[in-house]
Structure formats: structure tokens, C-alpha cells
């Protein structure tokens, strides 16, 4: 479990205090039906639709909309491709580094007029390549307000996770100034205690090692923004500063803990900053939008190992940033046809410097010091045509040109030009049935971190070499979704995606011939001492995803105020393993994942309670000389919230009620997997006990 995920989850008063396998959303009971689907493909859900659930925020309301699956956007470079599927007053969230979910949680439910669900496009709305968009419409006469929330989680080992959020908004001149201050402590639920079993298959020696992992962090997230009329349009300016410090330690003991074998300690300090804004104005049937954004990040990471005899220290200092400018012009020829065109330019960079020392002696790593720069430009044209009230078609084309240069141990520069067409068809034969089809050409982005080397001291000093001469993956996507509504606010959605991928990025073998031992007068390139694992392109592949989502109100089954939501997802992929030549899955893919959420509203008692269950899953990672696997057991959370007044709420949560284990396994080969055999196996189950969380929230 990623420590960053754990800390972010701990930070939000509206989320759990430690990372669960998925975001927990407040669900609620059946309510009055929404307004019938309008002729322009817009279904409005007024505030009264959510009233019985007593939501705290706009995110709570989004989570309750039948058949709508929230998409927080992608963590990619650039602005256009990072969009989620929720707008606020027809605009995207002005910040890129702030998550869309967090932005929605900062909007109090009492300030929401309604939420429009838009399928197939609507005048004045940028669908951002999505088949369905939610537009949160805020009340025009809303006043300034403040919110104070304090929370804490108590763990069985005595640790606690305090957090405090103080935020608000107030009129300033013709506009509104808003701010948010968050201070938090986080605990990593991917760390725990357990007994590792390892066996050398050559000697048949079995060792058992007691592992004790702890991961904690703390930080602050400070935001400020301003929205106001300006020059006949609307301007939004935002700024953000985020400090996050994470510390992780591993103590390994012989079993049963008579002496310590070794100690690994990691520390990461990361600072993020962002400043940006957008301006939009209507010119009759035309609408102009301008966006500018600047982000920066500084990261310092250290990892140390010592066992009383040997010591090692790995350090990395990195700096990265992104500058974005974007303009778009949308023109409505009428309610049936909307044309949008525009362009975006972005500059990105990452500079990473790494050092590795063993027993005081520096060790040279491949691609130890690199600087990666990218200049990217994109032009786009989109047409949204509603042929009739039941049928809408969207067609578009993006042309992307980018130049990526790498300097350091390797000096390379590559230029890419890609054409990315898209076609979406939305057919609604009745108000309760809808079919959505999408055909699109997508181009991935190279991860700048893949260009720099890294090392894992907790797994015996495993070196991952920096990649060179990488190309982005290209994917042709075929998607079909069918949505069926029932019982006013019930819905079931079937979704299928097929992807044809070229230039798949996975793991490859990199050989440093100069350091290979000489055998028979020639370098032995199969010797593991001169081979490294690295990211690289491995050829073509395919991926299939099937998903079923159900929103089931239980009032008609005799449970007034009950709501059951479930999502089941199947994944199947195939690529050619670059080491063995055999077909296998993509590294890190979960074959099957599932979640079930039950909530029950008791408005007569001003109370809501529920149970969220996130299913177990397995991920497998393939490297040239080993196979790693991560297994997570089922995570169960029970929660209850009492709202004695509309502006005051107390929430209790009990997490990980089944005591989920996280098991990490390794299968090591004595040579590359195509010629070698498994000589060492290792299984490390770690237990993370259940814990309690409490939050008090007050608005003014």
C-alpha cells in the first residue's frame, strides 16, 4: 500500500484515517425521483433529491447519483488529459494538483442548488472526452461560511492520527475568496508485523524472520483561491502549498526475536507548490476559456541499511516542475451542434541525482544522475452533434507533438507526433435505457521517474536501472456501456473495454557488458552481477476490462432508507514476456476486484450508518530474474454519523474489522528466467490490526 495514499486518506476529514483499498464515500437512501431526462440529454438532481441523506458535501451528493461512476481524473502531464468527470458551475477545478474529490468535499451541501448529469453533451458544456459528466450547480445567493473539523484515529499499538481542517469562503469585492488549511498525521496501513518465511531451494535451508514495519508521516496542505467577475467574464485564481514528510522503518529479528538481524530506515520529504488561474467569457454563441498553471516539486529521499557488520546508504534529490498554457473556443450553432477548438502548450522537467554507498565505498549506479525535459504541444477540434433527443454523436481529433530530451549518463532527444481521433455515440431509446459507445486512440505518457535509477534496501539492495530510449505506449480503445434505470433511483450499468496496445511499457533486462565476468575469454552476459532490471518497451499487447455496477435502493424490499451499491471488475491482458517469450499478463494488473457498500439512513434519528467492504486482490510483477507478488485481504469498515443539527456532525468509523493481511512474495531465479530456475522463495505476510476513527465537524 502506497504511503502517499495512506497519508492523503488520513488527511481528509471526510475520508478514512488510513488508506483503504478504495475511497470511502458517504452513501444514502432512496429519495424522491429526479426530474425526467430533458431533451438535451440533461438529468437534473435538485437538492431535495439528497435531503433525506443529510449530505455534508458535494462529494456526498455525487456519490448518491444513480448510475454515475465518479472519475477523479488522471495524474498525467498537461491540463486537458487530466480532467475528471465533474464540473463546478460548468468549469473544471482550477487546480491540477488538488484532487477533484477533495475539491468537491470542500463544497458544503447547503451551497448546492442541483447536480446535472449530462450524457452526450449539452450547450456550453465541455465534455472533456467523457461519455457522462456531472455539473455541480451552486446557489447564486450563498453566503460566506466557515468549516472546522477535527479528527483522530486510535490504533491498537497506541499510535494516533490527529487531523484538523479549517476552511471557508467570504465575499471580497465582487468575488469570493476561499481558503483551506489542513494539518494531519498519517499511518501507513501497508506496514505491519509478521513472520517471513524464506527457503533456499539449493540447500533446502528454511529461515523464519520476524518483521516489524512501521510507516508514519505528517504534513500540511494550504490552499487559497479567488473567483470573481472580470472583463465581462469570470476569473478563478488558485494557489496551493503542500508539505509531506514520511518515515518508514523495518526491524528484522530472528524468530523468536532473540536478536536483531538488520534495520532499514527510509525518509522522504516532499514540497509541492502550485499557482494558476483561468478566465472564461461568453461572446453570444461563442465561449472563450484561457488557463495558465505553474507547479513545482522538491523531493529528498534517503534509505539506510545496517546489520552491525555492513551498512548502505542510498540518497536521491529531485526537482520537477510543469508550466501549462491552454486556450479553447467553443461555439454553439444551436442546441444540436457544438464545435470546440483550441490548443495547449506545456513544459515539464525532472532533475534527479542519486548516490549509493556500501560500507563507506561509493557504488556507481546506471543512470544515476539525469535531467529529463519535455516540450509538448497539442491542438484539438471537437464536434458534438445531437441528431435527435435520443441520439448524440461526438467526434474529435487531437494532434500532439512532443520532444523529450534526456541528459546525464545518456544523452538522447526524441520527437513524437501523434494523431488521436475519438468518436462517441450516445443512444437513449427511452428515459430508462442508454447505450454508450466509444472508439478512441490514446497515447500514454512516459514516466520521468523511469529515467532515473533506484535501489530497494529492504529487498537485499535490488537495483532498478533508469530506462533509456523509451517510447510512449499507444492504445486503440473500444468501449461499450449499457445503463438501465429502475425504481426511480436504482440503476445497473454494464461496461466493457477492449484495448489494443503497441509499445507496451513494462520491465526489461539491461546488461552492463563492461562489468560482466570473463568466462572462456568472453563476457558472461547471463551473470546476474552485470544485469539490471529497467523499464522498457516490450512490444504489443491487449487488455480487456468488464465491469458491472449496481445502485439498489432497498425501500421496495422493506428496508426504508437502505441503499446497496456494488462494483465488480474483471481484467484480462496479454503481452509477450521479454525474458521468456511466453504470453503473460501486464505487470501489476489485478485480475478481479470488487466492492460492496451498504448504507442506511434513519432521518427520524438524524443518523446514518453503513458498512463498506473492499475485496481481496492480487498483483504480480515480472522482472528478468524474479517474480514479485502482492496479496491484500478483504477490508471492512463500519461507520455511523449523527447530525443533531444541520451544521454539526459526529462520525465514528471502525476500520479493518477482519484484520486484513498484506502478503508480499518473491521468487528469485539463479539466472535470467529464460535460462535459470527458482532457487529462493520468500513469503512475508504482515498483519495490520483494526482501528477506530472519530471526526467532529462544525460549520459556521
- The predicted pLDDT at position 138 comes to 87
On whether the CB atoms of residues 127 and 104 are closer than 8 A, the answer is no
The whole-number average pLDDT for the span 241-251 is 94
**Arithmetic mean of pLDDT over the chain:** 85
Of 663, 661, 665, 656, the residue nearest 687 (C-alpha): 661
The Cα–Cα gap between 135 and 43 comes to: 10
pLDDT tens digit sequence for 425-448: 999 898 889 999 999 999 988 777
- The predicted pLDDT at position 539 comes to 93
Report how far apart, in Å, the C-alpha atoms of 47 and of each of 51, 62, 192, 301 are.
Answer: 6, 11, 43, 47
The whole-number average pLDDT for the span 245-271 is 89
DSSP alpha helix (H) spans, 564-618? none
Asked if pLDDT for residue 25 goes beyond 60, the answer is: no
Asked if pLDDT for residue 367 goes beyond 80, the answer is: no
The Cα–Cα gap between 45 and 58 comes to: 12
Asked if pLDDT for residue 451 goes beyond 70, the answer is: no
Assess whether the previous peptide bond of 39 is cis (omega < 30° from 0). no
Query: Quick one: which H or E segment has residue 554?
Result: none
The Cα–Cα gap between 326 and 289 comes to: 8
Kindly report the CATH number assigned to the domain that includes residue 313. Answer: 2.40.170.20
Portion of the chain with pLDDT greater than 90, in percent: 46
The whole-number average pLDDT for the span 584-613 is 94
Count of domains for the chain? 1
Joined together, the cell numbers standing for residue 322 give 510543469
β-pairing verdict for 175-187 and 193-200: unpaired
Of 181, 182, 147, the residue nearest 163 (C-alpha): 182
Report DSSP letters for 121-183, one per residue.
--TT---TT-SEEEEEEEPTTPPPEEEEEEEEEEETTS-B--EEEEEEEEEETTEEEEEEEEE
The Cα–Cα gap between 369 and 202 comes to: 38
Residue 3 φ/ψ, nearest 5 degrees? -65, -30
The Cα–Cα gap between 409 and 345 comes to: 28
The whole-number average pLDDT for the span 482-500 is 92
- The predicted pLDDT at position 78 comes to 65
Residues 448/450/454/458 CA torsion (nearest 10 deg): 110
- The predicted pLDDT at position 22 comes to 31
The Cα–Cα gap between 140 and 191 comes to: 47
- Provide the 10 A C-beta neighbour count for residue 212: 16
Q: Which of 262-271, 305-314, 576-585 has the lowest mean pLDDT?
A: 305-314
The whole-number average pLDDT for the span 420-428 is 92
Q: Which of 32-36, 159-163, 545-549 has the lowest mean pLDDT?
A: 32-36
Asked if pLDDT for residue 567 goes beyond 80, the answer is: yes
Q: What is the DSSP letter of 461?
A: S
- The predicted pLDDT at position 126 comes to 66
On whether the CB atoms of residues 638 and 598 are closer than 8 A, the answer is no
- The predicted pLDDT at position 1 comes to 35
β-pairing verdict for 454-456 and 260-283: unpaired
The whole-number average pLDDT for the span 5-18 is 32
The whole-number average pLDDT for the span 278-293 is 92
Asked if pLDDT for residue 31 goes beyond 50, the answer is: no
Asked if pLDDT for residue 459 goes beyond 70, the answer is: no
> CB neighbours of 445 closer than 8 A, spacing ≥ 6?
76, 77, 472
The Cα–Cα gap between 358 and 305 comes to: 9
Joined together, the cell numbers standing for residue 400 give 500532439
Assess whether the previous peptide bond of 256 is cis (omega < 30° from 0). yes
Provide, for the chain, the percentages of residues in helix, strand and coil under a 3-state DSSP scheme, each rounded to the nearest 5. Answer: 5, 65, 30
Whether the pTM exceeds 0.95: the reply is no
- Distance of alpha carbon 52 from the chain centroid: 31
pLDDT tens digit sequence for 89-137: 877 776 666 778 888 888 888 888 898 888 766 666 667 667 788 889 8
Asked if pLDDT for residue 19 goes beyond 50, the answer is: no
Q: What is the DSSP letter of 57?
A: B
Q: 35: pLDDT confidence band, cut at 50, 70 and 90?
A: very low
Asked if pLDDT for residue 647 goes beyond 60, the answer is: yes
Joined together, the cell numbers standing for residue 346 give 506545456
Of 155, 91, 159, 100, the residue nearest 126 (C-alpha): 91
The Cα–Cα gap between 698 and 700 comes to: 7
- The predicted pLDDT at position 7 comes to 29
Asked if pLDDT for residue 9 goes beyond 50, the answer is: no
Asked if pLDDT for residue 58 goes beyond 90, the answer is: no
- The predicted pLDDT at position 629 comes to 95
Q: Which of 63-77, 194-208, 258-272, 292-306 has the lowest mean pLDDT?
A: 63-77
Sheet with 531-537, strands from edge to edge, namely 454-456, 462-464, 531-537, 505-511
pLDDT tens digit sequence for 166-206: 998 888 888 889 899 999 999 988 888 889 899 999 888 99
The whole-number average pLDDT for the span 631-654 is 94
Q: Which of 24-28, 152-156, 413-417, 467-471 has the lowest mean pLDDT?
A: 24-28
The Cα–Cα gap between 24 and 29 comes to: 16
Q: 340: pLDDT confidence band, cut at 50, 70 and 90?
A: very high
Task: Quote the domain boundaries for residue 561.
Answer: 3-699
| pLDDT higher at 653 or 454 | 653
Residue 506 bridge partners (DSSP): 536
Q: 583: pLDDT confidence band, cut at 50, 70 and 90?
A: very high
| pLDDT higher at 580 or 529 | 580
Query: Quick one: which H or E segment has residue 451?
Result: none
The whole-number average pLDDT for the span 54-66 is 85
The Cα–Cα gap between 393 and 24 comes to: 34
CA dihedral sign, ordered 511, 513, 517, 523: positive
- The predicted pLDDT at position 455 comes to 63
- The predicted pLDDT at position 508 comes to 85
Report how far apart, in Å, the C-alpha atoms of 592 and of each of 104, 243, 462, 504, 661 are.
Answer: 29, 35, 29, 21, 18
The whole-number average pLDDT for the span 551-566 is 92
On whether the CB atoms of residues 422 and 394 are closer than 8 A, the answer is yes
Amino acid at each position: 500500500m502506497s504511503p502517499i495514499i495512506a497519508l492523503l486518506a488520513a488527511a481528509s476529514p471526510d475520508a478514512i484515517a488510513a488508506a483503504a483499498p478504495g475511497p470511502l464515500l458517504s452513501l444514502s437512501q432512496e429519495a424522491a425521483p429526479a426530474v425526467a431526462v430533458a431533451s438535451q440529454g440533461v438529468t437534473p438532481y435538485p437538492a431535495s433529491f439528497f435531503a433525506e441523506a443529510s449530505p455534508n458535501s458535494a462529494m456526498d451528493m455525487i456519490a448518491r447519483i444513480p448510475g454515475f461512476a465518479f472519475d477523479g481524473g488522471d495524474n498525467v502531464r498537461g491540463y486537458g488529459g487530466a480532467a475528471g468527470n465533474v464540473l463546478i458551475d460548468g468549469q473544471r477545478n482550477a487546480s491540477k494538483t488538488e484532487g477533484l474529490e477533495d475539491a468537491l468535499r470542500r463544497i458544503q451541501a447547503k451551497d448546492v442548488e442541483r447536480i446535472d448529469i449530462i450524457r452526450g453533451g449539452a450547450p456550453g458544456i465541455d465534455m472533456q472526452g467523457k461519455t457522462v459528466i456531472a455539473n455541480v450547480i451552486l446557489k447564486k445567493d450563498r453566503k460566506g461560511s466557515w468549516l472546522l473539523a477535527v479528527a483522530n484515529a486510535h490504533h491498537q499499538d497506541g499510535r494516533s492520527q490527529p487531523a484538523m481542517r479549517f476552511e471557508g469562503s467570504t465575499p471580497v469585492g465582487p468575488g469570493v475568496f476561499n481558503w483551506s488549511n489542513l494539518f494531519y498525521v498519517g499511518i501507513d496501513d501497508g506496514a505491519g508485523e509478521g513472520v517471513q518465511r524464506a527457503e533456499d531451494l539449493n540447500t533446502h535451508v528454511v529461515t523464519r524472520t520476524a518483521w516489524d514495519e512501521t510507516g508514519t508521516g505528517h504534513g500540511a496542505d494550504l490552499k487559497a483561491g479567488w473567483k470573481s467577475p472580470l472583463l465581462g467574464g469570470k476569473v478563478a485564481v488558485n494557489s496551493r502549498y503542500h508539505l509531506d514528510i514520511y518515515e518508514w522503518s523495518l526491524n528484522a529479528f530472528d524468530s523468536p526475536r532473540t536478536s536483531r538481524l538488520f534495520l532499514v530506515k527510509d525518509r522522504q520529504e516532499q514540497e509541492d507548490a502550485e499557482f494558476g488561474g483561468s478566465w472564461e467569457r461568453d461572446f453570444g454563441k461563442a465561449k472563450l476559456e484561457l488557463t495558465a498553471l505553474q507547479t513545482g516539486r522538491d523531493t529528498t529521499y534517503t534509505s539506510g541499511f545496517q546489520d552491525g557488520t555492513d551498512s548502505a546508504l542510498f540518497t536521491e534529490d529531485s526537482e520537477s516542475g510543469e508550466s501549462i498554457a491552454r486556450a479553447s473556443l467553443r461555439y454553439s450553432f444551436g442546441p444540436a451542434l457544438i464545435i470546440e477548438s483550441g490548443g495547449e502548450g506545456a513544459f515539464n522537467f525532472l532533475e534527479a541525482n542519486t548516490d549509493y554507498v556500501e560500507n563507506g565505498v561509493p557504488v556507481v549506479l546506471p543512470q544515476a544522475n539525469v535531467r529529463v525535459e519535455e516540450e509538448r504541444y497539442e491542438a484539438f477540434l471537437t464536434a458534438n452533434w445531437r441528431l435527435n433527443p435520443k441520439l448524440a454523436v461526438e467526434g474529435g481529433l487531437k494532434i500532439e507533438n512532443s520532444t523529450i530530451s534526456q541528459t546525464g549518463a545518456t544523452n538522447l532527444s526524441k520527437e513524437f507526433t501523434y494523431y488521436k481521433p475519438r468518436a462517441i455515440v450516445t443512444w437513449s431509446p427511452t428515459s430508462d435505457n442508454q447505450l454508450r459507445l466509444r472508439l478512441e486512440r490514446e497515447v500514454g505518457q512516459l514516466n520521468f521517474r523511469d529515467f532515473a535509477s533506484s535501489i530497494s534496501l529492504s529487498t537485499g539492495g535490488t537495483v532498478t536501472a533508469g530506462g533509456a530510449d523509451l517510447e510512449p505506449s499507444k492504445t486503440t480503445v473500444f468501449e461499450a456501456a449499457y445503463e438501465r434505470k429502475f425504481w426511480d433511483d436504482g440503476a445497473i450499468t454494464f461496461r466493457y473495454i477492449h484495448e489494443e496496445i503497441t509499445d507496451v511499457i513494462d520491465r526489461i533486462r539491461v546488461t552492463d557488458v563492461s562489468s560482466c565476468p570473463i568466462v572462456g575469454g568472453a563476457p558472461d552476459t547471463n551473470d546476474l552481477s552485470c544485469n539490471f532490471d529497467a523499464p522498457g518497451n516490450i512490444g504489443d499487447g491487449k487488455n480487456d476490462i468488464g465491469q458491472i455496477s449496481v445502485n439498489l435502493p432497498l425501500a421496495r424490499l422493506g428496508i426504508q432508507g437502505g441503499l446497496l451499491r456494488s462494483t465488480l471488475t474483471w481484467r484480462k491482458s496479454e503481452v509477450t514476456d521479454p525474458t521468456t517469450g511466453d504470453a503473460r499478463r501486464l505487470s501489476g494488473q489485478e485480475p478481479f476486484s470488487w466492492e460492496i457498500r451498504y448504507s442506511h439512513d434513519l432521518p427520524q434519528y438524524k443518523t446514518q450508518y453503513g458498512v463498506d467492504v473492499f475485496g481481496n486482490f492480487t498483483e504480480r510483477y515480472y522482472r528478468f530474474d524474479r517474480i514479485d507478488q502482492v496479496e491484500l485481504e478483504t477490508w471492512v469498515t463500519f461507520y455511523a454519523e449523527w447530525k443533531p443539527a444541520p451544521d454539526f456532525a459526529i462520525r465514528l468509523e471502525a476500520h479493518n474489522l477482519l484484520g486484513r493481511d498484506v502478503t508480499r512474495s518473491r521468487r528469485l531465479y539463479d539466472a535470467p528466467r529464460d535460462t535459470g530456475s527458482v532457487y529462493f522463495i520468500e513469503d512475508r505476510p504482515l498483519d495490520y490490526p483494526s482501528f477506530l476513527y472519530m471526526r467532529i465537524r462544525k460549520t459556521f
